[in-house]
Amino acid sequence: MAAIFEATCTAPVNIAVVKYWGKRDTSLILPTNSSLSVTLSQDQLHSKTSIRASADFSTDRLWLNGHEESIEKNKRLVACLRETRALRASLEAENAALPKLSGLKIHICSENNFPTAAGLASSASGYACLVYTLSKLFELPLNASDLSVVARQGSGSACRSLFGGFVAWEMGEKADGSDSRAVQIAPETHWPDLQAMICVVSDEKKGTSSTEGMQLTVKTSALLQHRIKDVVPKRMDDMIAAIHAKDFPKFAELTMQDSNQFHAVCLDTYPPIFYINDISRAVIRIITEYNKDGVKAAYTFDAGPNAVIYAPKENMAEIYSILSHYFPGAAFDDSLNLVKENPQTIAAGLP
Ligand code: DP6
């Protein structure tokens, strides 16, 4: 039996507070605007990936949440493999003593401990984990920002999951995408008082994928052009300043405004895309009412109906009890499971 080389890693989920929506290059995954997210702790939500390489394997194979999936049909996965193998091949060319891993077939086994494709950023943690695990297997001497350029080609939002804390994806300008990468704005230790709560409104797979939805928006929405040019550049600066100053009311206001505008842009798409539902809208109304005398919580929604609530730690118990009051079955009913999350802890195994 030939030698087996193996690496296993986990990677966290990130939830954007300035949303990425739209690509200017769909194969390299270059965005139409910069974005910013908070990386959640891996304690409750993460992807875990094991990769083995061996001369005994005759094809590349992938198992996702226990089911075998085709690799060849998945252009993005093929791109991540091609990029990391090429980097390994150049290391091997420089150092003849290194085992020739770049030519070996691999078996990839990946799982999420939360619903896949329900607007809970599974592609973000999934591709961050794939690329990070490949970099460990191939012993690539790259930092997290360099790896983010590869992870971005798996799924745009994945580039931000290579860091803990507060992370910007700078859209970049170059046609080859080398400057479209993630950078850490502040580490996970910066704002220990900030917490996130995830309200699982539905764990069903979403109707319109982010990938399809955002390109329909790019094609048809005039509001997106306004967002890209007139709104996001200033909002990125304001958000970075609010995070550095740990100014929760400002952070919350910007987060809610950006979520609202993202869903307005979805409605402006033709035909329109609806990600939030009646329960999501009820959560928005409850948080708005709760904030009436001062901003104490922020909601945000990605490409699905599930709410993520950001708030200072001291408000979380109150928010939980208010939401449980309006959704009394929540603690017992799968229609609204509330999961408390702490966004400060960086993934073990990530740089
Ligand atoms: C609404 O990263 O899933 O969550 O690059 O096509 O894989 P692809 O899209 P994806 O889109 C995420 C969209 C979002 C906003 C965000 O995370 O910034």
The alpha carbon of residue 122 and the mean position of all alpha carbons in its chain are separated, in whole angstroms, by: 7
The counts of H helices and E strands in the chain are: 9, 15
Q: Write the pLDDT tens digit of every residue in 147-172.
A: 999 999 999 999 999 999 999 999 99
- In the reported structure, the alpha carbon of residue 121 is separated from the centroid of ligand 1 by a whole-number distance in angstroms of 7
pLDDT at 349 over 50: no
**Pocket of ligand 1, candidates 14, 17, 18, 20: which has the most ligand atoms within 8 Å of its Cβ, to mutate?**
20
Atom of ligand 1 nearest to the CA of 154: 7
Q: Write the pLDDT tens digit of every residue in 75-103.
A: 999 999 999 999 999 999 999 999 999 99
* pLDDT (0 to 100) of residue 343: 38
Radius of gyration of the chain from its Cα atoms, rounded to whole angstroms = 20
* DSSP helix, strand, coil percent of the chain (3-state; round to 5): 40, 25, 35
pLDDT at 242 over 90: yes
Atom of ligand 1 nearest to the CA of 214: 6
Atom of ligand 1 nearest to the CA of 14: 17
Contacts of the segment 171-174: beta carbons below 8 A, 24+ positions apart: 171/30, 171/31, 171/32, 171/33, 171/34, 172/30
If DSSP codes are grouped into helix, strand and coil, which group holds residue 249? Answer: helix
Of 311, 319, 314, whose CA–CA distance to 338 is shortest?
319
Dmax of the chain from CA atoms?
69
Residue with the smallest CA separation from ligand 1 atom 12 is 157
- In the reported structure, the alpha carbon of residue 343 is separated from the centroid of ligand 1 by a whole-number distance in angstroms of 19
pLDDT range class, residue 315, cuts 50, 70, 90: very high
Q: Which residues line ligand 1 (CB under 6 A)?
A: 16, 19-21, 29, 35, 123, 155-157, 210-211, 302-303
Q: What is the bridge-based pairing of β-strands 105-112 and 23-25?
A: unpaired
- In the reported structure, the alpha carbon of residue 36 is separated from the centroid of ligand 1 by a whole-number distance in angstroms of 12
pLDDT at 344 over 60: no
CB 127 within 8 A of CB 155: yes
* pLDDT (0 to 100) of residue 1: 84
- In the reported structure, the alpha carbon of residue 21 is separated from the centroid of ligand 1 by a whole-number distance in angstroms of 7
Going edge to edge, which strands form the sheet with 194-200?
A: 298-301, 307-312, 194-200, 337-341
pLDDT at 121 over 80: no
